[in-house]
Structure formats: C-alpha cells, structure tokens
C-alpha cells in the first residue's frame, strides 16, 4: 500500500483502494451480510492507512460484491483507470509461490495493464527499464501508454531484449516505430523461453523495472494457463509491468 501511495504521488494520480468479495449470496440475504462486510472492510482499510504515509494523494476506498475479473474490468472502465498495482502473493503463505491465485487471475484474465510489486519493495524512481519480448509486433499503440508515461515521468532508460524462441516467426523482430522511439539499446538472444533470456541478461542491464507483454502465447507461455505461478517458473525481485492488448 505504501508503494501504491508513493507511486500515485509521483504522478499526481488518484488512487483507488478496491476490495472485491468474489462471492455470490442470495439477494434476500445480500443486504445485511453485504453491509456488515463492507463496514468491516472499510474499518480494516482505514487501519492500514493509519500505518502509512498517505502524503497528499487523493485516495478513494470502495468495496464490491461480485465476480473478481468482471468487477475489476467494470471498475477500471468506469473510473478510467490507467494501471492496476498488484501484490504477488496476496493471501498465500507458501514461499514457493510468486503469483497467488487471486493476483494470478488478475494478471491472466483482465485486460488492464498491471504493475506487480514484490513484497516489501520500497518505491524509488524508475531509472532503468528492461523490456523482454519474443515478438515486437504491436497492433495497438495505446497498449504502450503506461510504459511511455513511466519513461517520461522518470526520464528512464529503456532497453529491449528480443528473445528468439522455437516459436519465432518471420517479422517478429521488426520493431514497431512507437516502440523503437522508446528504446536506447536493443539486444538479441536465442533461448527456449523469454524468461530464460531475462535470466541471462537482467544482471547486465540491472533494471529496476521489467516490462513484458501478455499475449495468449507470450511471456510466461504455459504459465498463463494456471492462475498460480511458482517462483521456480518465474520470479522478479523488482516490479514487473505487464502490458496487455498489444494485439
């Protein structure tokens, strides 16, 4: 929560703190049960806010009852949300898990760009971004907007890692002009997966933000087929910006 506040403060943005009860109850019982849950939730969030520095950020607290993905999509559309900030493990206590069931579902199934914030990560200006992709094909330039805004805000250096995998197709490495305009350096490598390319190069580039594209068969490949993602399959000690809707 402190990271989210600091991030919003850096951009002069409004911050929505949203909790969704992914549970359906009979409409007859929804009134009392829903009201009690909402009151308890507001008290809980207020107690968390009392422990952090809210600075001058405009914070809106809302509770909703409904299916997680559909509710978040509706909220983001209605409130014109630019970016969702997500904690990796949420309620999971297993050390082997990077993305828990809830956070994994948010990343996998929603079409809103997301920023995954590692636990206990302290906010600092983004100075070095590494984009790791196996295809530079972009058909919707608007999908790059969160990355463009971050680069502009912090004057960050953006490096591109193009990974040639067994799924490589002719034209995958033709960099779209809107992406090329952001890039300082482009590096090419050949690996079985994009993630292996990241492991090989992130120590060289020393990024403080990793940017990936979520395509149906893009970064994480088969990992997107399940909501929970284990650390042995993917782990990042710094924030991960997941851009969506590039196609």
What are the distances in angstroms from CA 233 to CA 19, 113, 174, 200?
A: 28, 21, 28, 15
pLDDT for 20: 85
Residues 135 and 207 in one domain: yes
Residues 233 and 140 in one domain: yes
What is the number of residues in the chain?
A: 247
Residue with token string 């909402």 = 38
Same domain, 57 and 156: no
- Look at strands 128-133 and 229-230 and give their pairing: unpaired
d(CA 22, CA 20): 6
Phi and psi dihedrals of 119, rounded to 5? -60, 135
Instruction: State pLDDT tens for residues 34-89.
Output: 677 778 878 888 888 999 999 999 999 988 888 888 899 999 999 999 999 998 76
Of 61, 81, 101, the residue at which a domain comes to its end is 81
Distance, C-alpha 88 to centroid of its chain:
9
Range of the domain at 44: 1-81
Q: Are residues 69 and 134 in the same domain?
A: no
Which residue, of 49, 81, 113, is where some domain finishes? Answer: 81
Burial pattern 135-172, b for ≥16 Cβ within 10 A else e, equals: bbbbeeeebbebbbebbeebebbbbbbbbebeeeeeeb
Q: Determine the pLDDT at residue 89.
A: 63
How far is the C-alpha of 142 from the C-alpha of 165, rounded, in Å? 26
Are 133 and 236 part of one and the same domain? yes
- CATH number, domain of 180, equals 3.40.50.620
pTM of the full predicted structure?
A: 0.85
The total number of structural domains in the chain stands at 2
The answer as to whether 104 is a domain residue is no
In a domain, 137, yes or no: yes
Tens-digit pLDDT profile for residues 85-126: 998 765 555 666 666 777 777 887 888 899 999 888 999 999
């Amino acid at each position: 929560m402190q990271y989210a506040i600091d991030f919003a403060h850096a951009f002069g943005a409004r911050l929505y703190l949203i909790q969704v009860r992914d549970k359906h109850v009979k409409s007859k019982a929804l009134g009392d049960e829903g009201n009690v849950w909402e009151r308890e939730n507001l008290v809980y969030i207020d107690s968390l806010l009392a422990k952090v520095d809210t600075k001058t950020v405009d914070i809106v607290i809302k509770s909703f009852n409904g299916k997680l993905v559909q509710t978040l999509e509706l909220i983001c559309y209605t409130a014109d949300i630019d970016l969702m900030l997500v904690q990796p493990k949420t309620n999971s206590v297993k050390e082997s898990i990077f993305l828990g069931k809830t956070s994994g579902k948010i990343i996998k199934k929603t079409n809103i760009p997301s920023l995954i914030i590692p636990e206990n990560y302290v906010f600092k200006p983004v100075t070095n971004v590494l984009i790791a992709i196996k295809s530079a094909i972009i058909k919707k330039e608007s999908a790059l907007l969160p990355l463009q805004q971050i680069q502009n805000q912090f004057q960050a250096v953006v490096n591109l890692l193009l990974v040639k995998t067994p799924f490589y197709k002719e034209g995958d490495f033709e960099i779209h002009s809107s992406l090329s305009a952001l890039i300082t350096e482009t590096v090419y490598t050949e690996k079985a997966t994009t993630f292996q390319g990241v492991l090989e190069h992130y120590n060289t580039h020393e990024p403080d933000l990793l940017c990936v594209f979520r395509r149906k068969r893009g970064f994480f490949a088969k990992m997107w087929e399940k909501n929970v993602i284990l650390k042995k399959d993917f782990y990042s000690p710094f924030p991960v910006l997941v851009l969506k809707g590039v196609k």
